[in-house]
Amino acid sequence: MRVLAVNVGSSSLKLDVWGADLVRPFIKLEVRGIAGDRGGLVENGAVVERKVFADHAAALAALLQRVPELERIARVGHRVVHGGSRYRGTTRVDETVLRDLEELVPLSPLHQVPMLAVMRACRGFFPAVPHAAVFDTAFHSAMPPRAYTYAIPAAWREAGVRRYGFHGIACADIVAQLGGELRERAIILHLGAGCSATALLKGKSIDTTMGFTPLEGLIMATRSGDIDPGALLFAQRNLALTPQKVEYVLNSESGLLALSGSADMRDLLRRRDDEAVSAVEVFCYRAAKAVGALTVALGGLEQLIFSGGIGEHAAAVRAGIGTLVAGLGVSIDADANNADAPIISAPAGAVRVHIIAVDEGRQIARDTMALSLA
């Protein structure tokens, strides 16, 4: 069986083709910088074309031309950021599912809108092939009520306002990669353009920092993370902001970008000005604070896992967070950390610390293959 794994980002599109063994893909393709001025097409990690792609539809058309033996694709799996309260596992896509996902657009507009466009286009291109929706929220669907309940009126909760959690596909791939090395009480720090922390008890999510939408929790590249709702009401009243403008600012003009003028952690770590230094410090502090809170949820900490672009490649960020959580038994070996080694904990450290490169495409393919079509 060959599976096409489709992963839509707000300004990117990835296509991977996997076989049943899931050892390595036949091909990995990506378009970056969609609708921007620095677009590029990447094949197996190498940039093969510099070009501006107007939208995700144009990117999809360009990528499909490079997929070998399209006729052998047996299933197509799509990453879906938000499944709401209805979708708690991988689901076969039909018109009913598409309508439900349309209704969830307001909860994750940056991802859900282009995802739906690509999903519809792929169904048109592969009409006779089963398509699966693989949900980022599904991994967290078994969180206990104490972790997902907001202290809001019953009518709001009955309407589905609760904490869902995201980055679940990445978390599932980490659990699969670690296998028997996964300890009973572990925390994943997934740090990239989007950032979250997840508490794993025996491999299951019991709490996470993202909530009703991917805005809650840690500071991110352009997203604010946690903020007092009263501050939003104040901004609306006193800065004459519409709800739509507030939503845009929180998603696209906040986070590291708002603190420093740059959304790129690599840029901030090169700079020495006060704004950049402060932004990194605040970023690390908020991540470390989340580790402390999730340690309480777990009743202890045995393993800490860094993933995502920042988590995998920013040694200074890992060191900064490690220093702040040293009281929890975390001790990072400087040489291993600077070398981006797979295990970076000091030999005497009580907590095992890993760096893991996530492959969401593989997990999408894994879940798509496992979907029963009966």
Active-site residue set: 136
* CB within 8 Å of 159: residues ≥ 6 apart: none
Question: One-letter amino acid identity for 310?
Answer: I
Residues in Cβ contact with 289 at an 8 Å cutoff, skipping those fewer than 6 apart: 324
DSSP string, 217-264: SS--SS---S--HHHHHHHHHHTT--HHHHHHHHHHS-HHHHHHS---
Residue 30, CA distances (Å) to 40, 237, 272, 303 in order: 8, 42, 33, 32
Exposure b/e, 169-206, CB count within 10 A at least 16 = b? bbbbbbbebbeeebbebbbbbbbbbbbbbbbbeebebb
* Residue labelled with tokens 């994943």: 188
| Structural tokens at position 352 | 């095992």
Beta carbons of 322 and 330 less than 8 angstroms apart: yes
Whole-number Å distance between alpha carbons of 224 and 245: 14
Separation CA 15–CA 29 (nearest Å): 5
Q: Enumerate residues 6+ apart whose C-beta is below 8 A from 285.
A: 324
Cβ neighbours of residue 247 closer than 8 Å, sequence gap 6 or more: 109
Q: Which helix (H) or strand (E) holds 8?
A: strand 2-8
Q: Residue 85 has what DSSP assignment?
A: T
Nearest Cα residue to 344 out of 327, 362, 321, 369? 321
For residue 1, which of 369, 373, 372 has the smallest C-alpha distance?
369
